[in-house]
Structure 1
Amino acid sequence: MVSLKTNMSAMIAQKYMGDAQADVVDAQSKLSSGSRIVKASDDAAGLQIANRLYAQTRGIDTAQSNANNAYSIAQTAEGALHESTNMLQKLRELALQSANGANTQNDRESIHLEAEMLKDDLDRIALTTTFAGEELFDGYFGKKSFYLGPDANGVSLNLKNMRTDHSEMGGNFVRASDSTDENWSVTESGNELRFDYNDRQGKSEQLDIRLKTGDDIHQVASYINGQQDVMKASVTEDFELQFFASTKLAPEGFEVSGSFANSLAIGDTEPIGLDDLDLSNVGDAQLGIAVVDASLKYVDGHRSEIGGFQNGVSRTIDNLTSMDSNISVAEGSIRDTDYARASTRLVKSQILGQATSALYAQANQNPAAALSLLG
């Protein structure tokens, strides 16, 4: 039917030409933006999933930054403690040297002066080791949390006080009030020795030692040290027996009892720290060896804690990097434009638009055919 009022062919061509033009615009927007989902109507469910994945990758990026900061703090702290360990090793060498009977009093005074300088250097490290202006070992850093996951999963780093006057850098000691001499020996009626103390968990502990009759005071000290590893026994130049226990093993000190303790008038313990170290005489040098050993265990134990924290952070960084890569790929597979497909669609839409445009022009010529019938 030929009609003047209603041109169905032109209307159909116009509809398809509009659809083709809309497809061209949509394909061009996806190609220019690089995103398959330009607006929510493109893929409502995909947009929601992609946004969740994007939020997770943003969280991972922040977590990686936090982890790198945490690792840097731990690395700075461990480097400082490495130097502290070296100084404590030198202090131990000086204590052993001072305790040697071949040294004169002048030698011991010189050794003591060097030890004092080393203690000052240890305090200097504790007070001047900083990260971003914050002191690490002055006792105020405490425990801080670092969030190393995209969902606020935290780990804690506790940096301890490393000053020489800290209680963990020493322990408690007691020295016999009565001295002995080279002719003294353990009697059969005075060979019982007992130590009572509370361990770090507050549990009551005791050590019972029966000494060997006939041993001199130096043999007694060696025998006590060989029977256990909590109390350290040593002898001064005046043949006075002394005992030391670190704060780590006996935080509240210890009590000495038994017939042997009574025979030498061994009284109450007193605290002693690394800052009290005196290497100017044999007795204090002997005691100083035990004090430095306690300090070394404290420092090296803290180094182990920091090293474990570093290893954990390093593994976390590796995991975050892997997560970031995999999640980004997953987000890209949902959100990103497939350029091959979008380009094909653009060319197809452009060809359809050109074809429908030609058909639309041809359809508009049909009314002219109707007019020709009227003469």
Structure 2
Amino acid sequence: MLSISNNYQSMSFATLRDTSLATALERLSSGLRINSAADDSAGLQISNRLASSKNAHNQINRNLNDGISYAQIAEGGLQESAALLQRMRQLSIQSQNGINSDSDRFALDKEFQQLKLALNAIAYNTEAFNSLPLVGDEDLLSDNVPSLSDTFSQGVEQSMTSGLRSIAYIPAGSSNVQIDLNDNGANDDIQVFTTDGKHLVGTPLTNATWVSKGITSATDLFDNFFLVENGYSSDASYDDSDLLTVGSATINGNSFTFTGDQQPSSTLESLTIGTTTQPLIISVIGNGSFRVTADWDSLGDENQGNSYSLGPVNITASNNTVTGTQYIELQKTPATLEALNIADTNIITTEAAEEAISRLDDALNNVSESRAFYGAKMNQMTSAYKVNAEMSVNVEASYSRIVDADFAKETARLTQSQIVEQASVSVLSQANANNEQVLGLLDSTFEQATQGVE
């Protein structure tokens, strides 16, 4: 029997050669020594831990950059506040001068009061990452003016005293709010404002109800009604261009139906608010007491009137797997008129100017301490950034040593594999050629033997 011997050794060698070549090509193309768990199972596990640590350090540094930006924004607002306080103190000293007449001091006080408004505006307009670092949490809208649902039980009549204050705010997104007022003959009137001072529903400032409370002009509103504790923003400005005194109207997307001031024919007033697109402040202005009932289909998000973050800001400083995450805390540094204790100051007399100087000195010390606080925190976060950056570089280097391919080594391996491949192809080709010669000789001998038999 004839048998043909296959070149199994050459074929096995070719398989090993192909595997080595494929591995070298994979590492060179990906740049990684470990492309699967089979390449280095222990190394893969270690590299995953290092990759997690590397990503954490990189993110912590981004967080620290955000924290530095937060502190810079807050310190910038305080810098402007300090400049205004210095000017206010200068005006106070000028007002003390005996050469000034009363009219001179009143003129100086006008600028002084405008600077106070600007100071409050800086505090409320210094916003960083959805937070107000220069405004205390207690000064925000939802803390000062309760929502309609907090003030009233739905559909239940209750008695309240009127005055020059806000009684409730209606969140944006509310629908079909109904307020029915019985003023007991005291001529108390419903008023609806936006938080920035737009007068939407009620009676004009020339009405007797407003006059009885000492309000005859927009300036009087600024001094006595447009206050933070009444829910108004520090830069609120009076606008009655769309004031609805009776009837129905849609203003800024808010729909109203109002019976108007019913005095002296009736003691009842009724207000229906179909839809609200912004927070609204409800007040009842007057000098007596009233009975009121409130009802509604739905109320919007109560936090919509105050969308700012509360409390301190905690900046991620490190992520220690043993002790846990560490933070750098940035406390709020309120710089509003109330926080600085200068809300009721004036310089219309020498005595008042002297009192103002004393308070302004305290306010300047407060602002300076707050600026120093942010400066120290910026230095602390910068130091933490440098530490994390150095750790990130070291972890990156450790990770690279484990997973990155050695290009010189892999290139040499690739070259070696290619040489071996070319040699194996040549050897296999020669082996196959020899087999063909043997088979040809056997075929010729077999044919000759067959012919002899015939």
TM-score class normalised by the smaller sequence: 0.5 to 0.7
Give the C-alpha shift of residue 99 in structure 1. 2.4
Give the C-alpha shift of residue 349 in structure 1. 0.9
> One-letter code of the match for 2:118?
D
Note the alpha carbon deviations across 1:333-369, whole angstroms, 9 max, x for none.
Answer: 2111112211111111121122223323444435964
Counterparts in 2 of 1:71-90, with a 5 A limit? Answer: 71-90=68-87
Deviates more, 1:274-283 or 1:294-303: 274-283
Find 1:288's aligned residue among 338, 349, 356.
356
Note the alpha carbon deviations across 1:27-50, whole angstroms, 9 max, x for none.
Answer: 111111111111112112221222
| 3-state SS in 1 of match to 2:338 | coil
Find 2:9's aligned residue among 8, 12, 15.
12
Is 2:47–2:402's contact at 8 Å kept on the other side of the alignment?
Answer: yes
Is 1:88–1:292's contact at 8 Å kept on the other side of the alignment?
Answer: yes
Aligned residues: 266
Q: Does 1:336 align with 2:397?
A: no
**In 2, distance between residues paired with 1:362 and 1:124?**
93
Give the C-alpha shift of residue 53 in structure 1. 1.6
> One-letter code of the match for 2:379?
N
Alignment-derived partner of residue 328 in structure 2: 155
**In 2, distance between residues paired with 1:150 and 1:36?**
28
**In 2, distance between residues paired with 1:92 and 1:149?**
44
Unaligned 5+ segments in structure 1 are 170-272
**In 2, distance between residues paired with 1:30 and 1:355?**
23
Q: Does 1:137 align with 2:134?
A: yes
> One-letter code of the match for 1:111?
L
**In 1, distance between residues paired with 2:114 and 2:28?**
71
Q: Does 1:355 align with 2:405?
A: no
Q: TM-score, normalised by structure 2?
A: 0.54
Q: Does 1:309 align with 2:377?
A: yes
| 3-state SS in 1 of match to 2:331 | strand
**In 2, distance between residues paired with 1:76 and 1:13?**
74
Note the alpha carbon deviations across 1:91-124, whole angstroms, 9 max, x for none.
Answer: 2222222223333322222222221111111111
Give the C-alpha shift of residue 325 in structure 1. 2.7
Q: Does 1:38 align with 2:35?
A: yes
| 3-state SS in 2 of match to 1:315 | helix
> One-letter code of the match for 1:359?
V
**In 2, distance between residues paired with 1:77 and 1:330?**
39
| 3-state SS in 2 of match to 1:161 | coil
Is 1:21–1:350's contact at 8 Å kept on the other side of the alignment?
Answer: no
| 3-state SS in 2 of match to 1:149 | strand
Deviates more, 1:123-132 or 1:289-298: 123-132
Is 1:98–1:111's contact at 8 Å kept on the other side of the alignment?
Answer: yes
> One-letter code of the match for 2:22?
V
Q: TM-score, normalised by structure 1?
A: 0.65
Give the C-alpha shift of residue 71 in structure 1. 1.3
| 3-state SS in 2 of match to 1:42 | coil
Alignment-derived partner of residue 277 in structure 1: 345
> One-letter code of the match for 1:162?
A
Alignment-derived partner of residue 228 in structure 1: none
**In 2, distance between residues paired with 1:367 and 1:108?**
121
**In 2, distance between residues paired with 1:142 and 1:13?**
76
Is 2:135–2:332's contact at 8 Å kept on the other side of the alignment?
Answer: no
> One-letter code of the match for 2:18?
Q
> One-letter code of the match for 1:158?
Q
**In 1, distance between residues paired with 2:376 and 2:97?**
38
**In 1, distance between residues paired with 2:314 and 2:133?**
14
**In 2, distance between residues paired with 1:132 and 1:40?**
43
Note the alpha carbon deviations across 1:187-206, whole angstroms, 9 max, x for none.
Answer: xxxxxxxxxxxxxxxxxxxx
Q: Does 1:102 align with 2:170?
A: no
**In 2, distance between residues paired with 1:301 and 1:38?**
56
Is 1:73–1:131's contact at 8 Å kept on the other side of the alignment?
Answer: yes
> One-letter code of the match for 2:117?
D
Give the C-alpha shift of residue 302 in structure 1. 0.9
Find 2:67's aligned residue among 66, 70, 74.
70
Find 1:146's aligned residue among 315, 318, 322.
315
Is 1:119–1:275's contact at 8 Å kept on the other side of the alignment?
Answer: yes
Give the C-alpha shift of residue 323 in structure 1. 2.7
Q: Does 1:52 align with 2:45?
A: no
Alignment-derived partner of residue 23 in structure 1: 20
Is 1:31–1:337's contact at 8 Å kept on the other side of the alignment?
Answer: yes
Is 1:142–1:160's contact at 8 Å kept on the other side of the alignment?
Answer: no
Unaligned 5+ segments in structure 2 are 138-309, 446-454
**In 1, distance between residues paired with 2:28 and 2:344?**
76
Note the alpha carbon deviations across 1:138-177, whole angstroms, 9 max, x for none.
Answer: 21243121213355432111112211112xx2xxxxxxxx
Note the alpha carbon deviations across 1:7-38, whole angstroms, 9 max, x for none.
Answer: 5xx22222222111111111111111111111
Percent identity, please. 29
Q: Where is the helix percentage greater, Structure 1 or Structure 2?
A: 1
Is 1:62–1:150's contact at 8 Å kept on the other side of the alignment?
Answer: no
